[in-house]
């Protein structure tokens, strides 16, 4: 039996920004610059941006640096 794909709705910039604890303005700027996964809606220069929380979550996880300073490298 085949499984149905899970539906995930698009969310507004306000909801996505709240999830990431950013301002909607900063989030939309990152979307326009292609830095964050987003979906433009509308024609012309002014777009309404929509987001998927799972994609934002993956984006954030990939941004976490793996080069953390170890406790032995702390300067006192």
pLDDT at 44: 80
Residues in the chain: 76
7-49 confidence digits (pLDDT tens) = 899 999 999 999 999 999 999 999 999 999 999 998 887 889 9
- The domain spans of the chain are 13-59
Average pLDDT over residues 47-74: 77
Average pLDDT over residues 49-71: 79
pLDDT at 19: 96
Average pLDDT over residues 49-61: 95
Q: What is the DSSP string of 6-75?
A: PP---B-HHHHHHHHT--HHHHHHHHHTTSS--EEESSSS--EEEB-HHHHHHHHHHHS-S-PPPGGG--
């Amino acid at each position: 039996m085949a499984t149905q794909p899970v539906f995930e709705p698009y969310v507004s910039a306000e909801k996505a920004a709240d999830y990431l604890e950013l301002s909607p303005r900063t989030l939309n700027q990152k979307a326009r610059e292609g830095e964050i996964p987003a979906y433009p809606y509308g024609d012309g220069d002014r777009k309404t941006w929509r987001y998927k929380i799972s994609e934002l979550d993956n984006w954030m996880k990939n941004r976490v640096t793996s080069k953390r300073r170890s406790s032995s490298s702390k300067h006192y």
